[in-house]
Amino acid sequence: MKPNDEKQTSLAPAPVSTLAPKPPSGGYPVYSRYPALQFEKNSLRQYWRIIRNRKWAVLTTLVVLLTIVTIGTLLTRPVYRAEVKVEIGRETERIMSGQRIADVETANVFNPLYLQTQVDILRSRDLARRVIQRLNLAEHEEFKNKSAELSTLSENERDTLLINGFQRRYDVSVGRLSRVVSLTFEAHDPKLAAEVANALAREYIDWSMESGLQGVESAKAFLEKRVREAEEELRKSEAAFQQYAAEHKIISLDDRGNITLERTAELNRQLAELQNERRAAEALYYRSLEVPPDELPPVINDPTVQTLARELNKQKQELANLLVRYQPAYPAVKQVQEQIEQLEMQLREAKHKIVRNIETQYRVARKREQDLMASLTQSKEEAIRQNREAIELNMLKQKLDTDRKIYDDLLQQLRRAGVEAEFRPSNIRLVQSAEVPLFPVRPNKPLNIGLSLVIGLVLGVGLAFFLEYLDNTINTGEDVERYLQLPPLGAIPSLQSLVQRKIITAPDSQSHPALARPTEELLLTHEPLLSFAESYRALRTSLLLSSAEHAPHSILITSSHPAEGKTTIVANTAISLAQTGMRVLVLDADMRRPRCHRILGLKNEVGLSTYLSRGIALESVIQEHEVPNLYVLTAGPVPPNPAELLSSSKLRVLMEELRSQFDHIVVDSPPITHVTDALIVSPLVEGVVIVVKGGETPREVVMRTKQALLDVNAKIFGVILNCIDPSKEGYYRYHHYYYSSYGENGK
């Protein structure tokens, strides 16, 4: 079907010379190795794009969570909380002070150990058991239902589970820097909550008083027993002390000092000083055995050695000066050498003398130490004999003093316990009784629903970013520039997405038979001003401007994988170029799975494979299409060796001949990742265009395709995104503006 004149006029732009005039200086920019483009990372616009594209994931997560929380909140039975407050004061003990009883504070409530002890008591199972028994909660409706379910258990097991359930309902909290403790209890019945809270406070106060009195009585009985034992022990200690002093005729311990003790102390002092001297002499002696004399401090600091060393250095300097002017046999030189030898011998003797003195000093110090130690040992034995009796008596006196003090302390504690047994006030005071709560504390419907909105939104946005992270496909022109560092030449929308998004309409098949078949992707079947045709006009303009100084004569269109729509793009691009008035040839170089003839409605009896393998005329394999200025060289019958045919020199000659006959040559080739046919043909054309199916082709595969083309020195014009959903990728605004302004029919 040939387009009518009106369609031809509407689709045809100005001539190429008008579309792509030669710039006055240089030419159009050329992407050679495509330097890395700069992008604004993590921009708000990029975040908004991700959220917009994944809006259904965000909304689904939000609605699901909100629904679950709302239903759960409405079905939850309300819980009421009652609060009672008690003051834990300082503990006091009542003791006898003269003729009256005085209160003495024994524990500070601000002591964390004391306060934590009281909190643990309030949380104890025994206190919970007392409240349960006092109120008979096992028969209450809220606890009875649970107890009925546990009828098969033993009494002890039911009691344990009942206390566990009770403890989960109440809590204890302490104010900051306060003696007031809050007890809260939760129940579905508000009256029960208040009743249990008050019972907890009363039972705690009663328990405190009972435990205090019980402790005093126990302490009093224990103290009476200990006083009797201490009194008996004191009598025994006094008798033993008096008997030992009489037997050894000791009157006073202060007169036991004598000259022997003083002499022993003096010998100890002298021995300590002598041991220090011996250690120093010993260390110096052993060092003299390990190192040369020159490294010993006595040798270094000796005046004689220093004098001989200076004289020796002086003679050596003199010898060095003489050797500069005279031979070694010169008399003056020999004389100086003899003096040097004498000085060296004197220096060695002086050092050896010092070393011998070090040894002598060490041996003398060791002998003196041994003699002094013998004297000290004898003196100690004498002192021990003289002081043994004094020590034994002193131990007896210390035991006597200790027993007397223990007896006095126990007697005093017994008197205090007697006073405490008569009266012991409680330090626990009820500050605020629990009132029946009017409003439930759970569930908090506004808070739950509000939190579910916030959390659902956060989870939804997080899911959107996670799905975006997992998506490794190319979707937009920004992705092409960011990951491939190639210019995006155009974006071809999916016809089904255009119809679904109502960017274009699908009228009935009688008035618009082409539009009733939205999956038909050939350009001839669509109205000139529809967005599908407009996308190819934009692609045509990008291709004409993709090469410097002139529009490209030959273009190879390939892809990474099959089924990315490259053959359809080849046909429609050729049709769009032919509508400008230029002679355009479609060359189907995909001799493995040729499809150009099917899309364009031509025969494939002869074609490129026939021309390359046989000696036939070129005119016999080129077919003229119904579109004016459009010619097609189909792939021909599938040969057994497509790569060998494409590698022949005849293909190069063919390309040169075709350039002379046609203004533009659009070449279709197999995918690059499967076969090498496209890599063989790419050096024979002016540039290569890579087709990427939006949202399906992984970016790593396209990057490998790009690298493979660069490895064979192919020039890449850019990338065409195919099957794009305009509403998802930001193209919707352009189409909506264009067609809302001019109408789908250009009116």
Give the pLDDT means over successive 10-residue stretches in the chain (747 positions).
36 34 36 42 74 87 91 88 86 46 48 80 88 86 64 78 87 83 89 90 84 68 78 82 74 58 76 78 74 75 80 82 80 81 81 79 80 78 70 78 83 72 68 88 87 92 87 82 87 70 49 41 55 79 81 91 88 90 93 90 90 88 91 92 89 92 93 88 92 87 91 91 70 43 40
Residue 611 half-sphere exposure toward CB, CA atoms < 13 A: 25
Q: Which CB contacts under 8 angstroms, 24+ apart, belong to 222-227? A: 223/410, 223/413, 223/414, 223/417, 224/414, 226/410, 227/407, 227/410, 227/411, 227/414
Which tokens hold the place of 678?
A: 């496209």
Sheet of 664-668: strands edge to edge? 488-493, 716-724, 687-693, 554-559, 664-668, 584-588, 630-633, 622-624
Model pLDDT, residue 54: 83
Q: Which CB contacts under 8 angstroms, 24+ apart, belong to 315-318? A: 315/339, 315/340, 315/343, 316/340
Model pLDDT, residue 658: 93
**Measured over all CA atoms, what is the biggest interatomic distance in the chain, rounded to whole angstroms?**
151
pLDDT in tens, 251-262: 665 555 556 667
Residue 602 phi/psi, 5-degree rounding, is: -120, 170
Torsion, CA 381, CA 385, CA 387, CA 390, rounded to 10: 160
Which tokens hold the place of 339?
A: 């003096």
Angle at 29 between CA 25 and CA 34, to 5 degrees: 150
d(CA 305, CA 346): 9
Of 459, 482, 480, give the one whose Cα is nearest residue 51: 459
Helix (H, G, I), strand (E, B) or coil at 183: strand
Residues 6+ apart with CB under 8 A from 209: 424, 426
How far CA 408 is from CA of 98, 312, 403, 670, in Å, comes to: 17, 87, 9, 111
Of 148, 167, 168, give the one whose Cα is nearest residue 158: 148
Q: Are 701 and 559 in contact (CB under 8 A)?
A: no
Q: Is the dihedral of CA 508, 509, 513, 518 positive or negative?
A: positive
Of 652, 613, 659, give the one whose Cα is nearest residue 635: 613
pLDDT in tens, 14-48: 333 333 333 333 333 344 333 444 444 457 877 88
d(CA 747, CA 740): 10
How far CA 81 is from CA of 142, 182, 536, in Å, comes to: 15, 12, 71
d(CA 744, CA 210): 94
Model pLDDT, residue 149: 56
Of 112, 64, 53, 60, give the one whose Cα is nearest residue 88: 112
Which tokens hold the place of 171?
A: 């809590």
Q: Is the dihedral of CA 66, 67, 71, 72 positive or negative?
A: negative
Q: Are 324 and 336 in contact (CB under 8 A)?
A: no
Q: Are 131 and 84 in contact (CB under 8 A)?
A: no
Q: Is the dihedral of CA 317, 318, 324, 327 positive or negative?
A: negative
d(CA 14, CA 420): 115
Q: Which CB contacts under 8 angstroms, 24+ apart, belong to 137-146? A: 137/162, 137/166, 137/196, 138/162, 140/192, 141/189, 142/187, 142/188, 142/189, 142/192
Of 691, 678, 695, 700, give the one whose Cα is nearest residue 718: 691
Q: Are 91 and 501 in contact (CB under 8 A)?
A: no
Q: Are 464 and 50 in contact (CB under 8 A)?
A: yes
Q: Are 570 and 557 in contact (CB under 8 A)?
A: yes
Cis peptide before 13 (omega within 30 of 0): no
Q: Are 103 and 94 in contact (CB under 8 A)?
A: yes
Q: Are 273 and 308 in contact (CB under 8 A)?
A: no
Q: What is the 3-state secondary structure (H, E, C) of 513-576?
A: CCCCCCCCCCHHHCCCCCHHHHHHHHHHHHHHCCCCCCCCCEEEEEECCCCCCHHHHHHHHHHH
d(CA 504, CA 248): 129
d(CA 445, CA 56): 26
Supply the pTM of this predicted model. Answer: 0.50
Which tokens hold the place of 236?
A: 């025994």
d(CA 588, CA 595): 8
Which tokens hold the place of 412?
A: 């005093």
Across 316-337, b (16+ Cβ under 10 Å) vs e yields bebbeebeeeeeeeeeebeebb
Q: What does the DSSP assignment read for 461-520?
A: HHHHHHHHHH--B--SHHHIIIII---EEEEEEPHHHHHHTTSS----TTT-TTTT-TT-
